[in-house]
A and B are shown apart, each in its own frame.
Chain A
């Protein structure tokens, strides 16, 4: 991404006005992110249906393509062709705006997701903040949808969502502070690069005894943040029909669906980068040794040029991160089909009484551990 835009800028930048350059950058970014999010959502939906099927001793989708892998495309076409309904008494403007806002927020958060160690869309120094802020912005869209639909189910769902996100945003941020503190950076790419030692196995998870509880806390908070079972109270199929999405159908409904899976992927990406080593694994390490890591080298003439030999390394790194992300997504699915939904008071109890103090304890313990290590070994 960055190279593509830089290349455009270097070749034709002088002849184009600034606004056109920015437009090109924006359109490219939106296209890439939108394509990525839809692919992730499609694959995740298929994976979810397969995982849930096999957990319940069924097959899941089997007919469209090999083991039904094209099922999501068929479903997408169906959703596009469905009637777009707006309830008579709904607030039309807010009703139509809400799914767009929800999807836009999660697409914005994807700007901070690094594709590989050398390829990114936005190399943001406060990447963690960016992702957390944008992914909690979806709550505004959800509350908007709940209010605009003018229905009891939706308003209950969105109120629950608001309460839940407020409660779980705190432990989510605090438990992420633990690896951020150890890494000393909020940047996803830099944090990943810090874990490259020990043949790509110096993951933050293994460097500090307080990392594992922090990871568990982070994961639970991420489940609540992405409205996944056992914290799927905003949807709560058996109580609230479909929660805040009750009145939505067709493509607008699919926006909410895409948002859910994209948020799952993004939360798993945060977990993967800050606990599970990001791009780093033994495979990435040896690929880096073998192919070289630098994508841009200074050529003989002194000009920057692309080093095509390093592309396999970047491919391996990107696939490693995506695999780790989908491992997290799979864990979320596995939990969803294992645990029953908790009550709203239990959700609140868990968020305020258990996760928040425990995550604070983790931060304290990790800080003391790091300080002690620094004092004893001086590194």
Chain B
């Protein structure tokens, strides 16, 4: 404990004045903060802006991926596994899993990709009820597998329509142009 200053009448009254004054100063500061808009955000509903180069959960552009395993080889802790069956030019994906219990978000899997199809996403909140769920299938993440299926079906339907049109001997120039535009 620090040495107490000598008790004198002047000191006594100075103490009173000081304590009242400093309390009022403190109250002024907290009052100002109270009227200010809170700086926190309501987390699950709103989020702070995330920088673009943030290294969160991976994002896979499945339609570009050629199953070359470059990312899996680059991974220093071997947490990437993928499996796909090749039908001619089309790849039928079985799984593309990342074990987030191991992953250290080093981004080394992103650089070797020849097709530039694996990226670090901005999603960071990753809560599950079971440990096994940390082994993430990037194909199914956020409905990407469903989207991919829809895209595939659309492509098949288009192809079938094209062949049907060819069989009828009609010109498909318009369609071709459309496809070019899309590309």
Contact = CB atoms under 8 A, between A and B. Distances in A.
Contacts, number: 40
Contact of B42 (A54, A55, A59, A358): A59
Interface string B20-43: 100100110111011110111010
Given A56-B33, A59-B40, 16 more contacts: A51-B34, A54-B33, A54-B34, A54-B38, A55-B30, A57-B39, A57-B40, A58-B38, A59-B38, A59-B42, A62-B42, A334-B27, A335-B23, A338-B26, A339-B23, A353-B12
A339 B42 contact: no
A335 B174 CA distance: 76
Interface in B18-70: 20, 23, 26-27, 29-31, 33-36, 38-40, 42
11 contacts: A54-B34, A55-B30, A57-B33, A57-B36, A57-B40, A59-B42, A216-B20, A334-B30, A337-B30, A338-B23, A338-B27
B15 interface: yes
A35 interface: no
Nearest to B27: A338
Chain A at the B interface: mostly helix, strand, loop or mixed? helix
Interface of A: 51, 53-59, 62, 216, 334-335, 337-339, 353-354, 358
Interface residues of B, number: 18
Interface of B: 12, 15-16, 20, 23, 26-27, 29-31, 33-36, 38-40, 42
A354 B14 CA distance: 12
Contacts of A56: 33
A353 B12 CA distance: 9
Contacts of B39: 57
Nearest to B36: A57
Contacts of B20: 216
Q: 9 closest A-B pairs (Cβ-Cβ)?
A: A338-B26, A338-B30, A54-B34, A57-B39, A55-B34, A55-B30, A57-B38, A58-B40, A59-B38
Nearest to A353: B12
Contacts of A337: 30
A51 B38 CA distance: 12
A56 B30 CA distance: 8
